[in-house]
Amino acid sequence: MATEDRSTQQPPASTEDRGRPAASAVKDRRWRTAAVRVGLTAGMIAAVIESLLNKSELLARISAWLWVEALCFSLITHVVFGLIVCAAACLVGAATGRLIRPLADRLRPAPLALAGLLVGEAVMAGWGIALVAGADLPGGSAGLACAVAIWLVALVPVGWICLRLGRGILGRGLGPLSRVAAWPAAALLLVAIGVRWFGRPQVQSADGFWTPEASSQPVRSSHDRPPDVVLIVADALRADRLGCYGYHRPTSPHIDAFAADAVVYEQVISPGAWTIPAHASIFTGLYPSQHGARFGLQRLWLDDGFVTLAEALRDRGYQTLALSNNPIVSPATNLTQGFQRFAEPGDFGRSAGSNHLAFFRHVLSKVRFLGPSLARWFFDDAGGHTTTAYVARWLRDRDRSRPVFLFINYMETHDPYEPPRAYRRQFVQASDVNRSYGIDQSSTTVWQYALAGKPVYTPRDVKILSDLYDGRVRELDDHFADLIAVLRAELDLDRTVLVLTSDHGENLGERGLFGHQFCIYNTLVHVPLIVRWPAALRPQRVDRLVQTCDLFPTLLAWSRAQARQTAKVMARSLTAEPPTSTQSEGRYAYAEYLFWPASPLETLARLDPAFDPSRWQVAYRAVFHDRWKLILASGGRFELYDLRSDPTEARNLVASHQPTVASLAGQVGRWLGSFKRFDPSQVTVPEDRHLDDEQRQRLRDLGYVGS
Ligand SMILES: [Zn+2]
């Protein structure tokens, strides 16, 4: 009965094949046809299932086009992957039939191809899930060899089951289904490739983006209504990498055009050197010593007792929305107090094919030759693209009788620096573009270079990383232009307070450092601040010292909101002093780096017992006044720099300028004595607060938590 069935369904297998020479069995058309048909069909089904399982419902609610893009991405990855694994399974099947003749009759292409795909999907998904759970899996070629070995081993039992089922319902259904569905699947694949190709990120021209005339309608006189407020924080954006702050490369044509019609603050010091304290200072007007948002997973938290900008504006009647692409600017850290709505657009963007992406980034992108060619298809939206769509949707749906407070955190300029190809081509030397995909930017590798002094990067790699950062700035600049287009359509920009700043800068190889930890140099604390509000400000450049925490009293005053902060606010409104006040009369600015992350040091010590972490277990404070910057390290060490003649802080003048050191150190002492410091024992982190696996993985990717 079974023999009869086989002979009627697949005459070549039972009659001609057995007599054929071995080589022709491999070339058997049946195997090829099955591989292609099943690969296309099952890949398409996998893509549809994934799209249904993932956050596609949310994506569709934001924008139908985003949903189509995500589906196309899913289709390409699953169908191409399906074709590869089905072909591999058929090769294995054909080769087995050749080697073990008695089995040749029993091995049938379609069920085996399906088994290959099922096992492949499971290996990739399992790999992604294990990575998210923190498993230490091999990457690169070793990882690929491992994955292939697992796939081969698992193919035997799963293939056997599929072959058994193949004689029954699976066999009767799969063949006809794949014959019918393969053509539409192939057509869909072509459409998906077309959509991704034509929709791929392109470097936009800044022509006509912003002309002061275009936005010079008279300001409406509705005095009762406070202005709409849009606060944009580009995470880890260095001031000196923007054209309007003197950078020589064309990283920011749109931001520059906007800045020419706005107030550009040239000397802006962030009170914190990294994300959480810096955002907390912007939101509360307080210094890190006062708000105490600091390191340690349990202490990545802004205490509920403080009044935030969003709370004050919400109470003033604003509709408040936070869009954060950084997982630690979120309810998980309580930085989003006062925002009535909160979303992580980057999260939606990543959802399509996330397990594939995790596997790809960990394994395939590090395989030489394979990586660079595949990587261009797997560019990862850091959230900017989805953010624009989200803002458009939210503004369309808003209550137009009330003002809006919109806060956006962009992650394009945060590590890892993985701009789409178009931006790489603009900023990375042509001969290095392919190499740029293969540089390992995992946090452990970066720490090994920066903290342990391991030569994991060549000087050429360091240059490429810096160029990639420039590419990311340019990408951010395009997202900024897209955002402005949406804001212009929905808001009256002349009645809108528009602020562009960053929480901190980034080390890009200076002093061998990368990222934004373990120091308090100006690479980290000198940030951009560009403010536009035609109702009250005329475009100009302001060179007196200001701080990002000044945004708290400034935006409260402009929106005529009241806030009784629970600690002493030493920040000053940006318009409280004339922009021309001379430097010597000017203020003191302070920056603090009070806690360092323990996990990188622990990871490095685990990898190399000889590693000495004590060099990095240092807290810093810095005071800025006039031309001077004094750094006070926790061990009692001082560094003094004359920023006017030495902006890169290359010459420590402590030995030759003792009176200045004493005067500035005395000032820091008086400053510390003038307010109540945050008492960590008072912190009220809720007991049930926890980070989910995905958040932990994101924190690990960003280097905040050890691997
Ligand atoms: Zn940050």
Q: Give residue-wise pLDDT tens across range 382-417.
A: 899 999 999 999 999 999 999 999 999 999 999 989
Ligand 1 centroid to Cα of residue 536, in Å, is 30
- Could you give phi then psi for residue 632, rounded to 5 degrees? -115, 110
Q: How far is the CA of 454 from the centre of ligand 1 (A)?
A: 25
Residue 590's DSSP bridge partners are 623
Q: For residue 238, report the distance from its CA to the centre of ligand 1, in Å.
A: 11
Residue-level pLDDT at 13: 40
Q: Determine the distance separating the centroid of ligand 1 and the alpha carbon of 391, expressed in angstroms.
A: 21
The pLDDT value given to residue 19:
43
State the pLDDT at residue 12: 41
User: Residue 237 C-alpha to ligand 1 middle, in angstroms?
Assistant: 9
**Count of positions (residues) in the chain:** 707
Which comes out higher in pLDDT, residue 534 or 687?
534
316: pLDDT confidence band, cut at 50, 70 and 90?
very high
Start-end of H helices in 491-538: 522-525
The pLDDT of residue 273: 95
Contact predicate 600/558, CB 8 Å = no
Nearest to 144 by CA among 362, 292, 415: 362
> Of the ranges 66-75, 130-139, 534-543, 614-623, which one carries the lowest mean pLDDT score?
130-139
For residue 581, pLDDT over 60 is answered with: no
d(CA 347, CA 57): 13
Distance 502 CA to ligand 1 centre (A): 8
CA of 409 to the centre of ligand 1 (A): 9
Return d(Cα 139, Cα 150) in angstroms, integer. 15
User: Which residues are placed with Cβ below 5 angstroms of ligand 1, an ion?
Assistant: 235, 275, 503
Q: Are 35 and 87 within 8 A, CB to CB?
A: yes
> What's residue 259's pLDDT?
97
Nearest-CA neighbor of 417 among 392, 399, 443?
Answer: 443
Higher pLDDT, 381 or 445: 445
Count the Cβ atoms, other than its own, within 10 Å of residue 576.
11
pLDDT of residue 10: 40
Q: How far is the CA of 504 from the centre of ligand 1 (A)?
A: 6
| pLDDT per position as a tens digit, 542-574 | 999 999 999 999 999 999 998 889 899 999 999
User: Which are the contacts of 578, defined by CB distance < 8 A and separation ≥ 6?
Assistant: none
Average pLDDT over residues 145-153: 95
Cα 450 to ligand 1 centre (Å): 18
- Indicate the residue type of 51: S
Per mean pLDDT, which range of 49-58, 121-130, 279-288 is the poorest? 49-58
Contact 397, 312 (CB under 8 A): no
* Residue 614: partners with Cβ closer than 8 Å, 6 or more residues away: none
Given the structure tokens 């998980």, which residue do they identify? 332
**What confidence score (pLDDT) does residue 592 get?**
96
300 to 24, 281, 295, 314, 409: CA distances (angstroms): 64, 14, 6, 24, 17
638 CA distance to ligand 1 centroid (A)? 26
The pLDDT of residue 372 is 74
CATH number given to 226-558+566-701? 3.40.720.10
Q: Read off φ and ψ for residue 322, nearest 5 degrees.
A: -115, 125
3-state secondary structure of 265: strand
Q: How far is the CA of 275 from the centre of ligand 1 (A)?
A: 3
75 CA distance to ligand 1 centroid (A)? 34
Most confident of 10-19, 79-88, 244-253, 286-295: 244-253
| Ligand 1 centroid, distance to 292 Cα (angstroms) | 16
Distance 236 CA to ligand 1 centre (A): 5
Spatial separation of the C-alpha atoms in residues 10 and 163, rounded to whole Å: 14
State how beta strands 319-324 and 341-343 pair.
parallel
Q: What is the pLDDT of residue 14?
A: 39
pLDDT surpassing 70 at residue 371 = yes
CA 525 to ligand 1 center in whole angstroms: 11
Radius of gyration of the chain (CA): 29
Q: Which residues pair with 641 in a beta bridge?
A: 629
The DSSP secondary-structure symbol of 501 reads E
Q: What would the pLDDT profile of 463-506 be if each residue is shown by its tens digit?
A: 999 999 999 999 999 999 999 999 999 999 999 999 999 999 99
Place of tokens 């072509």: 190
Cα–Cα distance for residue pair 438/285, rounded to 1 Å = 42
Beta partners for 410?
234
pLDDT in tens, 21-49: 444 444 578 888 888 888 899 888 888 88
Burial class (CB in 10 A: 0-12, 13-18, 19+), 287: buried
Average pLDDT over residues 288-315: 84
Close Cβ partners of 327 (under 8 Å, ≥ 6 residues apart): 344, 695, 698, 699, 702
* Residue 647 clears pLDDT 50, i.e. is over it: yes
Distance (angstroms) between ligand 1 centre and the Cα of 679 equals: 24
Q: What are the distances in angstroms from CA 39 to CA 48, 87, 364?
A: 14, 8, 20
pLDDT band of 684, cuts 50, 70, 90: low
Q: What is the pLDDT of residue 21?
A: 47
Q: Which of 300, 305, 352, 306 is nearest to 326 (CA)?
A: 300
Å from CA of 415 to ligand 1 middle: 10
pLDDT of residue 6: 39
Distances in whole angstroms, Cα of residue 503 to Cα of each of 289, 326, 448:
17, 12, 25
- CA of residue 569 to ligand 1 center, whole Å: 22
**640 alpha carbon – ligand 1 mean position (Å):** 26
3-state SS, 188-257, equals: HHHHHHHHHHHCCCCCCCCCCCCCHHHHCCCCCCCCCCCCEEEEEEECCCCHHHCHHHCCCCCCCHHHHH
Asked whether residue 213 carries a pLDDT value surpassing 70, the answer given is no
**The pLDDT of residue 344:** 87
Distance 602 CA to ligand 1 centre (A): 22
Range from 13-22, 236-245, 339-348, 351-360 carrying the lowest mean pLDDT? 13-22
pLDDT digits (tens, 9 = 90+) for 96-131: 988 988 888 888 888 899 999 999 989 988 888 887
CA atoms within 13 A on the CB side of 397: 11
| pLDDT exceeds cutoff 50 at 15 | no
Domain positions in the chain are 17-198, 226-558+566-701
Q: Using the mean position of ligand 1's atoms as its centre, give its distance from the Cα of residue 232 in Å.
A: 12
CA of 687 to the centre of ligand 1 (A): 26
Whether the per-residue pLDDT at 453 is higher than 60: the answer is yes
Query: How many angstroms is it from 620 CA to the middle of ligand 1?
Result: 18
User: In this predicted structure, what is the pLDDT of residue 389?
Assistant: 93
Q: Could you tell me the distance, in angstroms and rounded to a whole number, from the CA of residue 593 to the centre of ligand 1? A: 13
Residue 279 has pLDDT above 90, yes or no: yes
| pLDDT given at position 70 | 84
User: Cα(404) to centroid of ligand 1, in Å?
Assistant: 24
Q: What does the pLDDT average to over 689-693? A: 61
Say how many Å lie between the CA of residue 588 and the centre of ligand 1. 24
Ligand 1 mean position, distance from CA 558 (Å): 26
Cα of 274 vs centre of ligand 1, distance in Å, is: 5
Å from CA of 692 to ligand 1 middle:
20
Distance 125 CA to ligand 1 centre (A): 30
Confidence band of 440 (pLDDT split at 50, 70, 90): confident
Percent of the chain with pLDDT over 90: 57
Helix or strand or coil: residue 302? coil
The strand pair at 341-343 and 638-642 is best described as unpaired
pLDDT for 583 beyond 90 = no
Which residues neighbour 103 within 8 Å (Cβ) at sequence distance 6 or greater?
96, 97
- Is the CA virtual torsion 325, 326, 327, 332 positive or negative? negative
CA 328 to ligand 1 centroid distance, Å = 9
The amino acid present at 89, given as its one-letter code, is: A
What are the φ/ψ torsions at residue 200 (nearest 5 degrees)?
-65, 150
pLDDT over threshold 60, residue 652: yes
Q: How far is CA 644 from CA 210, 524, 582, 682, in A?
A: 32, 17, 14, 41
Please confirm whether the linkage preceding 416 is cis (ω < 30° from 0).
yes
Ligand 1: centre distance to CA 503 (Å): 5
Tell me, what's the pLDDT at 5? 39
- pLDDT value for 48: 85
DSSP, collapsed to helix, strand or coil, labels residue 281 as helix
Q: How far is the CA of 276 from the centre of ligand 1 (A)?
A: 7
Q: Provide the token pair at 513.
A: 């450092």
pLDDT attached to residue 481: 98
Distance 442 CA to ligand 1 centre (A): 17
Return the closest-CA partner of residue 432 out of 455, 472, 459.
459
**Mean of pLDDT values over 263-284:** 96
Distance of alpha carbon 483 from alpha carbon 233, whole angstroms: 13
More confident position, 73 or 648: 648
- Cα–Cα distance for residue pair 542/263, rounded to 1 Å: 7
Report pLDDT for 350: 60
Q: How far does residue 108's CA lie from ligand 1's centre (Å)?
A: 55
Check residue 526 and give its pLDDT. Answer: 98
Reported pTM = 0.90
| 447 C-alpha to ligand 1 centroid (Å) | 17
What distance in Å separates the CA atoms of residue 455 and residue 445, rounded to the nearest whole number? 10
Which of 33, 57, 61 lies closest to 182, judged by CA? 33
pLDDT for res 580: 58
Measure the CA–CA gap between 321 and 336, rounded to whole angstroms.
Answer: 9
Please tell me the distance between residue 419's alpha carbon and the centre of ligand 1 in angstroms. 18
Residues 241, 239: Cα–Cα separation, whole Å: 6
